[in-house]
Amino acid sequence: MQDLPHHYRVTASGEGAANVIVSAQGLPDLETAGPPEFGGPGDVWSPETMLVGAVANCFVLSFRAIARTAKLDWISLTCDTEGELDKVERLTQFTGFKVRATLTIPADGNEKKAHTILEKAEKYCLITNSMKANSHLEARVEFQSND
């Protein structure tokens, strides 16, 4: 890892009613618009879906790093995340995130260790640690069948 602080630069540009283009050096452009809840088309990423996606993505990457350090054998992790947007003191903001993580480990895997690492991934996710909204983890561990 590089020394902190890190800096990330993203540019968003739009013209009239056209979709917004989000770009960063060395990455493919991403076309965005408002979500259907705000009158958007619903066929491209929105800032809201990108934020919820960042929470889910960060959780998986945090889990991967912690599991590697802890030497946990695991097969797959799916993170279904729901963000709740509401009015708070006349401001619209995300008020919480529900992170539903489903981890598959080998049949002889350590379930207690897996749950501990899932909880650490929630605690150390830099995206949720960077926001005002609370994050809540609902974790489930599944075993791969021997069939």
What is the distance between the alpha carbons of residues 14 and 25, in angstroms, rounded to a whole number? Answer: 18
**DSSP readout, 58-116?**
HHHHHHHHHHHHHT----EEEEEEEEEEEEETTEEEEEEEEEEEEEEE-TT--HHHHHH
pLDDT tens over the chain, length 147 residues:
899 999 999 999 999 889 999 999 999 999 999 999 999 999 999 999 999 999 999 999 999 999 999 999 999 999 999 999 999 999 999 999 999 999 999 999 999 999 999 999 999 999 999 987 677 899 989 998 887
Q: Which of 115, 77, 79, 124 is nearest to 97 (CA)?
A: 79
Which pTM does this prediction carry?
0.87
Domains along the chain with CATH numbers = 47-143 (3.30.300.20)
